[in-house]
Amino acid sequence: MSGVVITASGVDASANNIGLVLPYASNCEAFGILGGTTARSQKNYALGKADFVLVGSPTISANSVQFVNATKWLQTSVAEADDMTFVVVCSAAKQNAYLITNTGTTRPGNNAAYPLGLQLRAISQGGSPTNNLLGSTVGRYDGTLLGTATGVGTPSLVRVASAGHRCATLRMTESTGVLKTNDLTAGDSSTVTDTTGVRDKCGNFRVGCSYLSGSLTDNVDILGFAIYSEALSDENLTLVYNWFKTYYARRGISI
């Protein structure tokens, strides 16, 4: 009896023991499918990249992990590059939560380093029972050693909290200063352009958590995510989104 082996050109899935391969894998630094077990939730399916660490014992469900800002999160070893893309599949419920972010002092003597981050937050930091604000932020400073960073953010996309899930994304293109937030589930986006000063690059990225405590301390349920050291084109972002849609549809989850 003979068989046929079909190999996709340019794809090596030998290290990927359950066969999870994104349709666009170039410059993919992290790719997680969360839930089920601790081992599965800590697995980085981006080929050749370091696995993750669950910090603070977040709650693991069948298809997601529930994180709590500054308390329970998933730690990656992904550093901030000039160009970045985050793709996050998360609950659509009201929450104050950074989906993916980083921070950390990058200039001696200055504790005001400003993170690159994608977040959902309630209006007035918890003042609304029905709405979320989805947006992205990036930090810039004047280039001096002790210069204070300030945040540049995309206009917020107002989301009505509801049952279900959404796929949110951030894309940063340093050469043009363009920062863009997409809600791929809703099909809308917002953009800001700023090339002033110097990009305030920070520490490695966390999923489901800000480094900062305070008012942003709600839970967030995240199903899956990908981090690229590249600003994906609309075409490639759609490819990745459609992969996540198909993957979760097979589990009865619509995004």
| Structure confidence by residue, pLDDT tens digits, 130-171 | 678 899 999 999 888 888 888 999 999 998 877 899 999 999
pTM score, two decimals? Answer: 0.90
Closest CA to 86 of 193, 200, 183: 183
- Predicted pLDDT of residue 11: 45
Provide the percentage of residues in the chain whose pLDDT is more than 70.
Answer: 84
Backbone angles phi, psi at 106, to 5 degrees: -105, -10
- Of how many residues is the chain composed? 255
In DSSP terms, 188 is beta-bridged to 183
Judged by DSSP in three states, 40 sits in helix
- 216 pLDDT more than 60: no
Question: For residues 134 and 222, what is the distance between their CA atoms, to the nearest angstrom?
Answer: 15
Q: Say if residues 35 and 29 touch (Cβ distance below 8 Å).
A: no
pLDDT tens digits, one per residue of 77-106? 999 999 999 999 999 887 777 899 998 777
Amino acid at 46: A
Where does 28-249 sit in CATH, by number? 2.60.120.200
User: b/e string for 212-243 if b means 16 or more Cβ within 10 A?
Assistant: eeeebbbbbbbbbbbbbbbbbeeebbeebbeb
What pLDDT, on a 0 to 100 scale, did the predictor assign at position 84? 98
pLDDT of amino acid 7 = 44
| Structure letter (DSSP) for residue 17 | T
Pairwise pLDDT comparison (146 vs 214), residue with the higher score? 146
| Helix ranges (DSSP H) in 181-233 | none
- Residue with the bigger pLDDT between 132 and 248: it is 248
Residues 187-205 have pLDDT tens digits of: 999 999 999 999 999 889 9
Q: Which residue has the higher pLDDT, 160 or 46?
A: 46
pLDDT of residue 8: 46
Contact 58, 71 (CB under 8 A): no
Q: What integer best gives the mean pLDDT of the chain?
A: 87
194: number of CA atoms within 13 Å, CB side? 21
Please report the pLDDT score of residue 190 as a whole number. 98
